[in-house]
Amino acid sequence: MAYGSKSSHELIFPATFALILCFFYLTYDIFPGPEFMFLCLLIYAMYNKCSRRFVKDWFPFAALFLSYETLNRFVGSIPRAVHIEEPIMADLKLFGVVPTLSLQHLYRAPALDYLGVAFYSLHFIAPTIFAFVLWKYKSSEYSKYTLAFMVCTYSALITFLVYPVAPPWFGVKATRIIFQVDNNLGVPIYKTVFDYIQPNLFAAFPSLHAAYPWLISLYTFKIWRKKALPILLFPTSIWFSAVYLGEHYVVDIIGGVAYATLAFLVVEKLCTKHALTKVLNQKSIENLLTNILKVRIPRVLKFHEKRCLTVDLNFYKEGIREDEKILYKSASLYMVRLLT
């Protein structure tokens, strides 16, 4: 939706505001959450006299982000049977080795660490920027992208609840490079992120780090066809980074790609323009979130499988792996019980 002037000066004020706000966050040690980006985009819309349209169109996208952040944190706090061996065995069957361990052993380098962390950090930034590009220049695709994003995200969230999977840094004791980069920089960027959002530690499958860039690529191919081929560098870089950094197995990446592809196909094949308008209105989103929050989570927690770990996350303290050991933020150790 190309509202307002298209000249370059339309970005000056919003960009200046973003810099000032960023400086404020850094000065007072406040971590900028998703609301930071939405606020910057709202300022842009207000500056270009399209704020009412922006609020109407972006409410579903913003609600998705904020509700997912809250629900994922809640799901992560529930004691569950955590699957550890399954993704390891899947990677071994596919490659004969665990790719994360092989990459870290054979190709570990400081430059690759920093590059991997940089790509991995685009997880929430890239989908929002791409949504803004569609909203501004390809409005007919914006609603479809938002709905596909929603389908993909909540499908993954349900999977995190009923089938929690441990990442390589937990399952095979791979080095968690992102925290080592924090230590090397002397600025606890990722530690601050984890303290701030308290993420679900056992949400490795499917990998949303794989799903989101692939969903972006699918819509890029749909709109720009062959001209969009260079976009493939984007998801492959993030996929490699997720495996190299010890955050995901390759099977997690495959799962993320599958979830994104299915979400794309469902929206593209089954949703008409009228249906999109009905689904993505403000009242429908509010009703959806209300129903989600009323779900009785314990009903899906009755299963326990062999060779899984039951982890009481009330006692779990996020660990930073250094020199083959896990250091904890407090003296309280997490409690585990091996089911036999």
Structure confidence by residue, pLDDT tens digits, 79-114: 788 999 999 999 999 999 999 999 999 999 999 999
Domain that holds residue 60: 50-338
Least confident range of 15-29, 60-74, 164-178? 15-29
Q: CB of 310 within 8 A of CB of 79?
A: yes
Residue 280 falls within a domain, yes or no? yes
User: What is the model's pLDDT at position 12?
Assistant: 64
Mean pLDDT, rounded, for 269-287: 58
Q: CB of 217 within 8 A of CB of 235?
A: yes
Residue 29 falls within a domain, yes or no? no
Residue 9 falls within a domain, yes or no? no
User: What is the model's pLDDT at position 124?
Assistant: 78
- For the cut 50, the answer to whether the pLDDT of residue 253 exceeds it is yes
Residue 14 falls within a domain, yes or no? no
Residue 11 falls within a domain, yes or no? no
**What pLDDT band is residue 69 in, cutting at 50, 70 and 90?**
confident
Average of per-residue pLDDT values in the chain: 75
- Give, in order, the Cα–Cα distances in Å from 204 to each of 163, 224, 296: 10, 31, 23
Q: Counting Cβ atoms within 10 Å, is residue 164 exposed (0-12), middle (13-18) or buried (19+)?
A: buried
Residue 57 falls within a domain, yes or no? yes
Q: What angle do CA 258, 190, 43 make, to 5 degrees?
A: 80
Residue 131 falls within a domain, yes or no? yes
Mean pLDDT, rounded, for 35-46: 66
Going by C-alpha positions, the residue among 229, 230, 231, 252 that lies closest to residue 241 is 252
pLDDT in tens, 154-171: 999 999 999 999 999 999
Least confident range of 149-153, 207-211, 294-298? 294-298
- The domain total for the chain is 1
Mean pLDDT, rounded, for 187-203: 71
Strand ranges (E), 36-162: 80-83
Between residues 330 and 122, the one the model is more confident about:
122
**What pLDDT band is residue 190 in, cutting at 50, 70 and 90?**
confident
CB neighbourhood size of 306 (10 A): 9
Residue 32 falls within a domain, yes or no? no
Which residues are within 8 A (CB) of 94 and not within 5 positions of it... i.e. 6 or more apart? 250, 251
